[in-house]
Amino acid sequence: MSKVISSAEARQWTVDKLAEIGVVLTEDEKQHVEVADMGLGELALSGLQLITYINNERYCAKDLVLMPGQTCPEHLHPPLSAENPGKMETFRCRSGVVYLYVEGEETPHRKANPPVRSEAFYTVFHEIELHPGEQYTIKPNTLHWFQAGQEGAIVSEFSSASHDESDIFTDPRIQRLPVES
């Protein structure tokens, strides 16, 4: 992928990658693939593409699709109330390799690095390497970020209800949801 990519190109790339692994999307789903550039304007470096299949008050299921080397920036899912500790999510790698970084002892000689010019906003470096068929569960209120390997990656996310507008990113420049103009 080139360093500059339009939302339409990213959406089509995502649809094609999902089809390659046998994921069938409806025409409506194809039109509603979310392209999240995090407000940074460098989608091929920082961001991700996703399709949400269901998100209700109890659970959520999504596919996260990352271009080669693309990084979803460091963030956490905070408690939302006394009764809601925040989103717990399980990542299951479907295709490619994804490097997930969570709180814990720093992994020496890690295989991925934060995007250039954004290094100051990454603070957790305990590496979990996921290959197809492997999964990892991230507890609520846990800092994490992830990056695709050289082929890109597809990760299925199974979680409690998703409230993306409540996510807290360590990079203050990030706008998780698009700003209405």
Per-residue pLDDT, 23: 97
Among 3, 134, 166, 147, CA closest to 64: 147
User: Which amino acid is it at 14?
Assistant: T
Among 125, 23, 112, CA closest to 68: 112
Per-residue pLDDT, 176: 77
What does pTM read for this prediction? 0.94
3-state secondary structure of 112: coil
| Residues of the chain under the 70 pLDDT cut | 1-3, 177-181
Per-residue pLDDT, 178: 59
Per-residue pLDDT, 4: 79
Per-residue pLDDT, 175: 87
Fold designation for 7-162: Jelly Rolls (2.60.120)
Residue 76 token pair: 């956490």
Per-residue pLDDT, 2: 44
Per-residue pLDDT, 181: 38
Q: Are 1 and 96 in contact (CB under 8 A)?
A: no
Bridge-based pairing state of the strands 135-138 and 71-76: unpaired
Domains of the chain, residue spans = 7-162
